Amino acid sequence: MKAKVLVPVLIAVVAVVAFFVGAQFRSAPETVEEVALSEPPPEPEPPAEPARAAHTHPPQRSATPASSPAASSPEPASAPARSAEPPRRAEPPRPRPPALVSVRVAEGTKIVFALDEALSTKTHRAGDSFSGVVSQPVQIGGRVIIPEGSVVRGTVARSKRAGRIRGRAEMDLRLEQLELPDGQVFDLVATLTELDESEKETLGEEGEIIGQGSKKRDVATIGGGAGIGAAIGAIAGGGGKGAATGAGVGAAAGTAAVLLTRGRDIKFERGSQLALQLDRALTVKVRR
């Protein structure tokens, strides 16, 4: 019974509340519009004057220096990488030069050489040079140390022609240098010790060359003149007195011929064989 009475009451209450809420929603926009119309429009504000600075200062420069154009400019692009070079071919190993050893050529060693040109007291004076070629190799221990073809050089130290009455020709040779075919050059201290067998000159104690004497030739010249004179005198004078007179005249003529003729000059032909002896040892480099 009570439930039936409460239900209509609740429905009535809900209806009244709904009515008032709807009325509030309908009247709210009109109130807002009326308020907006009733307010006067706002006045425009005057333009603001620029503020005057109390003191004008020049713009201060920044303590930090401006960046240089080079720094600001973009960095250049790096060069393109080169392509890898092809591997080089390995060169074959070069042959090593043969090892050299030093060999001592003792003092007293004999070296035979042949003259490159004729040598004479008639044509050569002191200071003239001469040369020769080694004609016999020098061996030590079965190994050739100074080969054939090496060159001997020297200078004429003194050249004296024979006198007209007496005195023989003399010549001194100074042996100065020895050059091997491989280019090694040595200063020589040596003495001439032998002459060609075909030559009639002799060597003095100091190695000087002494020419052949002309005594026999002079005697023959004088004697020949005397004999010819005697024969002519005998024929012309008819006897011994004429022969004696002719002999004297012939001898005088022969003597005059001797006085007008020099003694024999020293002369060595090209290719003449001479020999020297070392007065100081040499040290020669040879291949092993």
Say what the pLDDT of residue 263 is: 81
> Average pLDDT, whole number, for the chain?
74
Position 260 pLDDT exceeds 70: no
Answer for the pair 118, 270: CB distance below 8 angstroms, yes or no: yes
Position 23 pLDDT exceeds 90: no
Q: CA distances (Å), 69 to each of 60, 75, 259, in order? A: 22, 11, 111
Say what the pLDDT of residue 197 is: 85
Say what the pLDDT of residue 13 is: 74
CA distance 207 to 219: 29
- Strongest mean pLDDT among 71-75, 83-87, 187-191, 246-250: 187-191
194 is written with which tokens? 């032998």
Answer for the pair 146, 138: CB distance below 8 angstroms, yes or no: yes
Say what the pLDDT of residue 73 is: 53
Residue with tokens 């709807």: 22
Position 18 pLDDT exceeds 60: yes
For residue 187, what is the enclosing H or E element? strand 185-187
% of the chain surpassing 90 pLDDT: 40
Minimum mean pLDDT range among 8-22, 133-147, 157-171: 8-22
179 DSSP β-pair partners: 151, 185
Position 135 pLDDT exceeds 70: yes
171 is written with which tokens? 């010549």
Position 185 pLDDT exceeds 50: yes
Say what the pLDDT of residue 131 is: 97
52-97 tens-digit pLDDT? 544 445 555 554 444 444 445 555 555 556 666 777 777 787 877 7
115 DSSP β-pair partners: 132
In terms of Cα–Cα distance, which of 124, 135, 176 is closest to 154?
Answer: 176
Say what the pLDDT of residue 253 is: 52
Cβ neighbours, 10 Å, residue 38: 7
CA distance 37 to 215: 177
Beta strands 282-287 and 138-140, pairing class: unpaired
Q: What is the pTM of this model?
A: 0.53
- Quick one: average pLDDT of 242-251? 52
For residue 163, give every residue at least 6 positions away whose Cβ sits within 8 Å of its Cβ, in sequence order, or none: 262, 263
CA distance 47 to 44: 9
Say what the pLDDT of residue 216 is: 52
- Quick one: average pLDDT of 6-25? 69
Position 192 pLDDT exceeds 90: yes
Say what the pLDDT of residue 265 is: 93
268-287 tens-digit pLDDT? 999 999 999 999 999 999 98
Position 37 pLDDT exceeds 80: no
Position 221 pLDDT exceeds 90: no
- Quick one: average pLDDT of 119-125? 95
- Strongest mean pLDDT among 28-32, 253-257, 263-267: 263-267
229-240 tens-digit pLDDT? 455 555 555 555
Answer for the pair 250, 227: CB distance below 8 angstroms, yes or no: yes
Say what the pLDDT of residue 143 is: 93
Position 16 pLDDT exceeds 80: no
